[in-house]
Structure 1
């Protein structure tokens, strides 16, 4: 099992969603954790994130 590495930092996000006594989990489909349960998350496109932040209401 190998994990791809990047020469540049990559932004990612992980969310913990709690409702009453329940926690949202997702089953991973991509290696290296395919088939395992975890919190929802993924990679972030910094350009798109900056655009959304700039357009968000204040």
Structure 2
């Protein structure tokens, strides 16, 4: 079983984490990909991050 590193809540279902899309338009150029953050729905702690496919 996986647990949140901050609040120790069990992360057993997809509903236990929140996927938040991050704005990729910082700096001079807009990024061609979407960045996202995975957070615990109980305490909001960041669990991980990544890059999704190209923006449409």
The structure with the greater share of residues assigned to helix is: 1
Fold match (TM-score > 0.5)? no
Q: Normalising to structure 1: TM-score of the pair?
A: 0.33
The structure with the greater share of residues assigned to strand is: 2
Specify which structure has the bigger relative contact order, considering alpha-carbon pairs within 8 angstroms and separated by 6 or more residues. 1
Structure showing greater radius of gyration is: 1
